[in-house]
Amino acid sequence: MSVGERRLGEVLTLDLNPVQVEATARYPVAGVHNSGRGLFKRNDLSGFGTSYKKLHHLRAGQLVLSRLQAFKGGIAVVTPEFDGFHLSPEFLTFSRLEEELDAQFLSYLCAWPDFWQRVASGHGQTGTFRPRVHPRRFLELRFPIPDIDSQRITAQTLAYHRQQVRALEANAKRATELSETAAVALACRPDLSELEKGARGWTRVPLRVLMEQVAHPVSVDPTETYPSLGLYHFGRGVYRKEPLDGSRTSATTLNRVSAGQFIYSKNLAFEGAYARIPMEFDGFFVSGEFPTFQTHAAELDPLWLAIYMQSASNWMESGTWGKGLGRRRQRLSIDSFLAFEIWRPPLAEQRRARRKIQALARHRNLRIESELFVAALWPSILHESMAKGTASPRMA
């Protein structure tokens, strides 16, 4: 059952606690995350190093909001670990009427996107114009706030739901990690010693024996745009970037990639920026910082190699072949990359591993659907509860 709406001024009061800044003092300072994600700790502020004459002192249980970012969810309840911290005068603090408003219920209200949207509409936000929150107008806003006992029941029920959803999220993350680890193990076979690998027909060979550099250079036309891709770190594949505008890029030549090619980043090889080009990225473009290679079909399966290079020990070892002072300045030249030696199993074994890896990928695709459901579950539960002021029964 829905409950009636009440003015925030019935349950909150503006309660600023300004502190005069002293040049010789240091002040613990907090910040407020957007999207209702609570407070975070900043570096201590030196009184000598700030232009603020006053700071606002926080007390546990208060509501704090950013006058500029409340419309984006820059609003939170002060938890005990932030008691005694400070914020700039751009933040407002309100105290609860404890017999009327439960702190945990209020924290869930702060995490509700409709709450921020009502704050925005209540202050006449239009387009890019974002006025500061005015305390009087804020306290005039109305929300579904039940009696204190119902608030506590709702907060307890939401805490239970949140715990259950987090467990689902953790399980999904763990399943993904195990799947990725299994794929790398299938390609690298860390369970086999070098002697055992040799007995099974594995050979240690430089990449130049197994592939060759290929390129399809295209002169940049300033009237054209070019679909572009980038490489994730840690061997996690490729991703779509914003198209390159020929009139804005400084590059005069781009390389057109083809599905099935192997690619790496000269600058980020030491962080695992290796991949196989999937079919959906056929015909995309990269700069000369991303060399491409064609594997010899009778010697090397490019998908097997892409998974093999997801192993941290492999891409870190390949990265040490680069040049530069310090990891962040290393570059892996094409010659150095082709000189890198790998343990290559027979092609039949590569293909067996590939089939198993593809089966893992299919299971991963099925899990994506459930992960999307899990991602939507908590916002849905929170919205239903806050919109009517009471939480749904607990999940079994």
Q: Give which of 4, 8, 28, 42 is closest to 133, Cα–Cα.
A: 8
Q: Dihedral angle at the C-alpha atoms of 163, 168, 170, 176, nearest 10 degrees? A: -170
Residue 69 within a domain: yes
Q: What is the pTM of this model?
A: 0.68
More confident call, 258 vs 302: 258
Same domain, 132 and 12: yes
CA dist 163 and 136 (Å) reads: 36
Collapse the DSSP code of 169 into the 3-class scheme (helix H, G, I; strand E, B; otherwise coil) and give the result: helix
Same domain, 223 and 249: yes
Contact 97, 70 (CB under 8 A): no
**Other residues' Cβ atoms within 10 Å of the Cβ of residue 360:** 16
Domain that residue 66 falls in? 5-145
CA dist 385 and 392 (Å) reads: 7
Total domains in the chain come to: 3
Q: Give which of 6, 10, 129 is closest to 71, Cα–Cα.
A: 129
Answer yes or no: is pLDDT of 107 > 50.
Answer: yes
Same domain, 67 and 161: no
Q: How far does the chain reach from its first CA to its final CA, in angstroms?
A: 21
Residue 196 within a domain: no
Residue 171 within a domain: yes
Question: pLDDT per residue over 231-280, tens digit each?
Answer: 998 888 899 999 999 999 888 999 999 999 999 999 988 888 999 999 99
- Give the pLDDT band (50/70/90) at residue 130: low
Residue 197 within a domain: no
CA-atom Rg of the chain in angstroms: 28
Same domain, 223 and 242: yes
Same domain, 214 and 289: yes
Q: What is the CATH number of the domain that holds 136?
A: 3.90.220.20
